[in-house]
Amino acid sequence: MTVRNAYVAETWRELFAAEGLSVRVVPPIGYGEKASLRDERTLYVPTGKAHVAREILRKI
């Protein structure tokens, strides 16, 4: 899932964590340490738990 910025990514990460789902937030590739909080972020969940993430998104 791709979100607008780091603030939105953190909100989603906290929501998924509250449901017991681990999430990895990845900054844009190529920016490294220079990634701004305003840059897009990609959220990854474990492959076996993707159905859980979809169910959480469906409920919202």
CB 21 within 8 A of CB 52: yes
Length of the chain: 60
- Rounded-to-integer distance, Cα 9 and Cα 3, Å: 6
- Rounded-to-integer distance, Cα 59 and Cα 50, Å: 14
The confidence score (pLDDT) of residue 33 equals 67
Of residues 46 and 60, more confidently modeled: 46
Per-residue pLDDT of 5-58, as tens digits, reads 999 999 999 999 999 999 999 988 876 667 788 889 999 999 999 999 999 999
The confidence score (pLDDT) of residue 49 equals 94
Q: How many other CB atoms sit within 10 Å of the CB of residue 37?
A: 11
Model confidence, pTM: 0.82
The confidence score (pLDDT) of residue 37 equals 83
The confidence score (pLDDT) of residue 24 equals 95
